[in-house]
Structure 1
Amino acid sequence: MKTRFIYPLVFLLISSLSFAQDYKERREKVKALKVAFITEKLELTTEEAQKFWPIYNAFDEKQAELRHEKMRAILNRFKPGNVENLSEKEASALLIQMEKIEEDLFSLRRKFIKDLQGVVSAKKIIKLKKAEEDFNRELLKQMREKRKG
């Protein structure tokens, strides 16, 4: 498909997401839009897409779990008054926990890239990082515009 046809479609769908929809449904729509966006940006062939998406989805799910775990650990400790009440030992333990999750995220990303190298070119892996950033930037832009309007 031509870019001039995909972009308006993708961003029309993003902008049509209603606040009344439940979170899971919105998340699934955003995920579908992300798949379309990345597939187009990487110019994945059918064969590449069949191999790429299972690897990407497994990575994305595990990454989301780790980030959620990290945020939960941090937020539980940083409720009002909790930081001041942390002992030095508790603060050290929290730092260790946060570092461990960051190391896990780094290891996960490293494995993901290694797994992708057998499926798509190095150039497409680089393009993937940019496509993810572009998609997230555009999604945030759409959300801000929706709040204003």
Structure 2
Amino acid sequence: MKIKTPVILAILAGATAALVGCGDSGPKLYPVKGTVRVDGKPASDAIVFLHRKGRDNPNEPVPHGTCGADGTFQLTSVKAGDGAQAGEYVVTVVWPDMSKAPDGNGGRPDLLKGAYEKAASSAIKATVEAKENQLPEIALTAPKQPAPKQPAPGIKTDK
């Protein structure tokens, strides 16, 4: 059976109209880029999350982005790089230790030891405007490593 060109064009036009008619049903999103540095160095593989103030729908996506080797990220809400809706945000950051194997849940230790992972205690704020956005650099300080435990004086640790 040979399909004629007008029939193919009609099918394509109908499919295109159906796709255009679907449209995005969510809020308008705006491109957002930024940079994360820890102790002045790019935080390669760090993950940035923006928690919108006043968010009351638990199904609303949380914009997030993963830092490249230079510490830069681009936010994604639904589709890669689509950005975030305009508004005020609290920023959280986790920095997975990519040198460690993932645990049973796929997670890795946080190089920031959880210091920047909770929205309730984060002092990092961001504003997304109804335009292309370049956030100010997110400059973090790595938590200090605890000193190794020393045995108490006079206690022999060799067997």
- TM norm structure 2: 0.20
Q: Which has the larger radius of gyration?
A: 2
Could you say which structure has the higher strand fraction? 2
- TM norm structure 1: 0.21
Could you say which structure has the higher helix fraction? 1
